[in-house]
Amino acid sequence: MTVSVVTDSAAALPVDLQRELGVTVVPILLTVDGEEVADDALSPAELLAAGTLSTAAPGPGAFARAVAECPRGDGVLILTVSAKLSSCHRAAVMGAREAGRRTIVVDTANAAGGQALAVHAAVSAAGRGAPLEEVAAAARRVAARVRLMGVLGGLDQLVRSGRIPAAAGRAGDRLGVRPLFDLHDGRIRRLLPSRSTAGAHRRILEQMRQSRPAEVHALHVAAVHADAHHDARSLLAAVEAESEPATAFVGGFGGALVAAAGVGVSGLAWWWEPPPYRHG
């Protein structure tokens, strides 16, 4: 490839896929009980057992080093988590300037699986020998089309973060409430909750089906989770039972997303690839 691709650890790219694609991942930073660690340093259970937990975007220097270490070629593309959710994008822009190499920085307006699918599309374009501008354009197209929808494993982290009262959290857990969410226009939006994870998965799959355009070339999906690999794998298996995705993988949340959503989260990111344009 003549274009190198860099992203941050909000993208739910499994480690083996990172290596296969040759993507450089800059870790988001966590402060756990006063000690700064990388996004993947601790398990989800260890993170949530901490007394205090906070997150911070990597500094510009981390992105500058990542760009500097990329192989020489046509340039470097940095794909970041939504700028509305993190300051990673701003740090990446500053880091790209500091590195002094030909670099384009793109805000994917996504996270987790949505961000990962934009990264995957960029690497695919780079693998075909596309120049930097075309690789960036491919990532932007996918970022605009991809949809991410998921379900929380419970209400504990919402209570811990102060987003809902403790009494409401206890009542919701007794009733088996499972909050659903989607990522739209770079922001996380709450949806009507479900009474079970299985019910939430049915709603997610129905949304995927309803979003299918009239003409389709391929489906690309990423099942994501926070310490709920079985649920994510089941969700992906349900997709594969009714279609043959061109891209399909399971990715786990990094520590920063676990800090925001807790454990037990599962969800699906997808985009429908249209047929190639034909002249005449």
Predicted local distance difference test score (pLDDT) of residue 26: 96
Predicted local distance difference test score (pLDDT) of residue 166: 41
What is residue 197's three-state secondary structure?
helix
Tokens representing 82 are 């939504």
pLDDT by position in tens, the chain (length 280): 789 999 999 999 999 999 999 999 999 998 888 888 888 888 887 887 887 878 889 999 999 999 999 998 899 999 999 999 999 999 999 999 999 999 999 999 999 999 999 999 999 999 999 999 999 999 999 999 999 999 987 555 543 554 543 433 443 454 456 888 998 788 888 888 898 899 999 999 999 999 999 999 999 999 999 989 999 999 999 999 999 999 999 999 888 888 877 788 899 999 999 998 654 4
Predicted local distance difference test score (pLDDT) of residue 47: 80
Are the beta carbons of 67 and 105 closer than 8 angstroms?
Answer: no
Predicted local distance difference test score (pLDDT) of residue 108: 97
Predicted local distance difference test score (pLDDT) of residue 176: 56
Amino acid (1-letter code) at residue 257: L
DSSP code of 11?
B
CA 143-80-189 angle, 5° bins: 60
Distinct helix (H) and strand (E) counts, the chain:
11, 13
Predicted local distance difference test score (pLDDT) of residue 167: 39
DSSP code of 203?
H
Is this prediction's pTM over 0.85?
yes
In this structure, the dihedral spanned by the alpha carbons of residues 183, 188, 192 and 197, taken in order and rounded to 10 degrees, is 70
The H or E element containing residue 175 is: helix 166-175
Predicted local distance difference test score (pLDDT) of residue 188: 85
Instruction: Please tell me the distance from the alpha carbon of residue 29 to that of residue 60, in angstroms, as a whole number.
Output: 13
